[in-house]
Structure 1
Amino acid sequence: MEMLKKENLLMNQPKADREDVIRRCGRMLVDSGYAAEHYIEGMIKRDNSFTTCIGNHIALPHGEEAYKVDIISTGIVALAFPEGIDWQGTVVYLVIGIAAKGDEHLDIMGNVVDKLETGDDVKKLVREGTVDDMYVMLCGEPS
C-alpha cells in the first residue's frame, strides 16, 4: 500500500479546532486503511500529553506508543491551513497525520525538515502551493 496518496493531501482548509483536526487526520488514516478506529484516540491522547507541534508552524499528530498495535500499514495525511490554527498556543499552518510501523516514516519526515526549514517556507507552501507541490515536498519526487 502507498504510504502517501494525493487524495490525502488537503489544501486550503478552513480554520478548525485542534482536536477536530487531529480527529480528521485520524479518520483519514482509518478510511485509507492505514490504521484501525482505535488509533484516533491514541492520537488525541498523545497530543494532550505532549504537543505534536514541532515548530516552524508544523504539527505531526500521531498515536501514543501503546496504540501502535492499531497501525495496519504506514500512512501519512496532510492538511494545509492558510489562515493558521491554534495548536495549544502556537499557530500551525501544516498538519501531517502519521500512522507509522517501525521507522518507515522517517524518510518523509526528513524531507519535511529539509524542505521546510523556516516558518516562511511552510507559509509559502500552504498559501501558494498545490497538491503536487505538497506531494513532492513529502515524498521528494513527483507521482
Structure 2
Amino acid sequence: MTKSILAKENILLNTAVGTKEEAIRVTGSILVDKGYVDANYIGKMLEREALTSTYMGNFVAIPHGTEDSKLLVKESGISFVQVPQGVDFGSGNIVKLLIGIAGKDNEHLDILSNIAIVCSEEENIEKLVAAKTADEILAIFEEVN
C-alpha cells in the first residue's frame, strides 16, 4: 500500500530555523524519517540549492533533490514546514513555507502543479502561514483537487 503523498505527519508547524541550510535539512529529514527517500537525499537537496535557489517567491521555497538524486527516492512524497518568523534564503528573500518534494518517475509533476496553483494565491499563502493545525494545511491543498 502506498502512503499518502502529503500526510498529516509530514507537516511541521511553527518551526524556527536559523539558516536556509537548516531549513532544507528539516524539510528533508521529514522525507527521510517517513520513508520516502534515502538519507543521502538531504545532501542532494542542499546541492540543488547551491546550484540554483528553490525560492519561488511569495514566501515559498520548494527544496528538492538534483536530477541525479532520483535513485534515492523510494516513493513520491511531500514535506511541509511552516516557519512563521521566516528564514532568509539569500538576497533578502524570506521564506515562511518550505515544501520539500521527492518525486518518483514523473508523479511529482502533478504534485508540483497542485502546489503552484495553491501558492499562486496570496490569500492561500497567508492561510498556510497562519495555520495552527496540520488539518488546516491539508484542507487548503485539498481544495485544489
- Other structure's SS at 1:115 match: helix
Per-residue Cα deviation, 1:69-94 (whole angstroms, up to 9, x for no partner):
11110011000111111112201110
Please list every run of 5 or more consecutive structure 1 residues that lacks an aligned counterpart in the other structure: none
Greater strand share, structure number: 1
Separation of aligned partners in 2, 1:110 and 1:136: 17
User: Any idea what the Cα deviations from partners look like across 1:2-26, whole Å, max 9, x if unmatched?
Assistant: 2122011111112431101111111
SS in structure 2 of the partner of residue 109 of structure 1: helix
2:141 is matched with 138
Mark the CA change 1:120 to 1:86 in structure 2 (over 3 Å): closer, same or farther: farther
**CA-CA distance at 1:58 after TM superposition:** 0.6
Is 1:33 the counterpart of 2:35? The answer is: yes
Query: What is the alpha-carbon root mean square deviation over aligned residues?
Result: 2.0
Matches within 5 A, 1:1-143: 1-2=2-3, 3-89=5-91, 90-140=93-143
8 Å contact kept, 2:17–2:23? no
Give the Cα separation in 1 of the matches to 2:38 and 2:137: 26
Report percent identity of matched pairs.
Answer: 36
Structure 1 pair 78–59 and aligned structure 2 pair: CA distance change class (3 A): same
Alignment length (residue pairs): 142
5+ residue gaps, structure 2: none
Supply the distance in 2 between the matched residues of 1:128 and 1:32 (Cα, whole angstroms). 22
* Distance across 1 between alignment mates of 2:79 and 2:143: 15
Q: 1:129 Cα deviation (Å)? A: 5.0
Letter in 2 for 1:104: E
User: Deviations 1:42-83 (Å, cap 9, x if unpaired)?
Assistant: 000001110111111110000001111111100110001111
- The normalised TM-score by structure 2 is 0.87
Shift of 1:120: 4.9
Q: In the aligned structure 2, how far is the partner of 1:127 from the partner of 1:69?
A: 35
What is the rounded CA distance, in whole Å, between the counterparts of 1:76 and 1:138 in structure 2?
12
Deviation at 1:141, TM superposition (A): 7.5
